Structure 1
Amino acid sequence: MHAMQYEITLPADYDMGIIRKRVATRGHLLDDFPGLGLKAYLVRERGALSPVNQYAPLYLWSTPEGMNSFLWGTGFQGIVDDFGRPEVQHWAGLAHHEGPSSSAAPRTAVRRRQRIPDGVPPGPLVEQAVAESRRLAALDGVVCTALAADPRHWELLYVTLWDRDSPQGVGDRYQVLHLSQPERTALRSGRHW
């Protein structure tokens, strides 16, 4: 698994209906994209538990070929054409867990980024993070969780998809507008090493 996200921060007075329409008319285009485990079409709106308006799709790739096909093909070009080329953040997958609400449509995503401090052995911290991801996955209302790491910046990424609007959890909250999940079953469950 490989996690990827880009954040398009929009002006404070931006009509987020434009993003909602974009997802409603184009979101289905990745519903059968090869190599894509899942794509959560995420938005946050200024004033609604967010300081900014933002479109921030999050991907869990089941294969690197799928991610490369998207980035270097016509899929990502639509974003570039409409918004310019955003910075694409990416993390190596550490764990994925389905939750008790795995068959439900997610309504909210909670994303938390955690720095791995200098001087802290990363192995034990990652083991604790995997255990925390597994704990989160068992909570009522969880669709699925993912844990990934960026070893360049020494950062952990926790993502939890929920079937409700007001979930538990610390982190940035996003509304899920659509979920493409052509190869979600190919995302290996549990620890990824």
Structure 2
Amino acid sequence: MHAMQYELTLPADYDTGVIRDRVRRVGHLLDDWEGLGCKAYLLRERGVDGSPVNQYAPFYLWNTMEGMNSFLWGGAFQGLSDDFGRPSVRQWTGVAYEEGGTVGSPARVAVRHRQPVPDGVELAACMEDAVRETERLAGEDGAVLAAAAVDTGRWELVRFSLWEHDIPKAEGDIFRVLHMSAPGRDRLPRGRQW
């Protein structure tokens, strides 16, 4: 599993209806994308759920590198780049993935928590903690799914979870889910990724 996200931070007075309309218009294009586990089309709005910014920030869980590369180099990503400029694309290697009790339900909210992997810690123990936290989050009431991944270039751990209700049981940046494409969610490997 590979995780990926880019963020488009928008002006404070930006009409986020433009993003909502865009997702309604093109969101379905990834509903059957080969190699994609799931893509959550995410939006934060300034002053909502504690967000300091307006931000469009889709989050992806990929089953295959080929699917991810096809998205990035095959033209789909070019449309976004043409409209908004080319954003930096963050990538993380999968550590853990679990489905929650409401998997298959429409996700309303996503939570992303990024944290540094501290210097001097035993990496195996740190990643085992991430696996346990993924399991815990997926076991919470209202959880659709939970994942953890690490960027070894920055030594950053990201935890990502989707929720069917507006009050998630996770800490981090809260996003509204505008659309979900999940053609290969059932093929994402469960549990620990090594």
**TM-score tier (shorter):** over 0.9
- What residue ranges of structure 1 are gaps of 5+ in the alignment? none
Secondary structure at the counterpart of residue 25 of structure 1: helix
Q: 1:89-127: CA deviations, max 9, x gaps?
A: 000011110001102110000000111111112111110
1:168-179 mapped onto 2 (5 Å cutoff)? 168-179=169-180
- Distance in 2 of aligned mates of 1:140 and 1:166: 10
Distance (whole Å) between structure 2 residues aligned to residue 169 and residue 97 of structure 1: 15
In structure 2, what residue type is equivalent to 1:132?
A: E
The Cα RMSD (Å) is 0.6
Counterpart position of 1:9: 9
Could you state the TM-score of these two structures normalised by the residue count of structure 2?
Answer: 0.98
Tell me which residue corresponds to 1:80.
81
Cα offset for 1:59?
0.4
User: Is residue 2:23 matched to residue 1:23?
Assistant: yes
State the Cα deviation string for residues 57-81 of structure 1 (Å, max 9, x = none). Answer: 0000000000000000111001110
Runs of 4+ in 1 over 4 A off after TM superposition: none
SS at match of 2:121: coil
Summarize deviations over 1:16-60 as a string: whole Å, max 9, x none.
000000001100000001000000000000011200000000000
SS of the counterpart of 1:24? helix
Contact 2:137 2:169 in 1 (8 A): no
Q: Secondary structure at the match of 1:144?
A: strand
- The residue type paired with residue 167 of structure 1 is P
How far, CA to CA, are the matches of 1:73 and 1:8 in structure 2?
21
Q: 1:15 & 1:25 partners in 2: Cα distance?
A: 16
Query: Percent sequence identity over matched residues?
Result: 59
Residue 105 of structure 1 corresponds to: 106
- Provide the TM-score with structure 1 as the length reference: 0.99
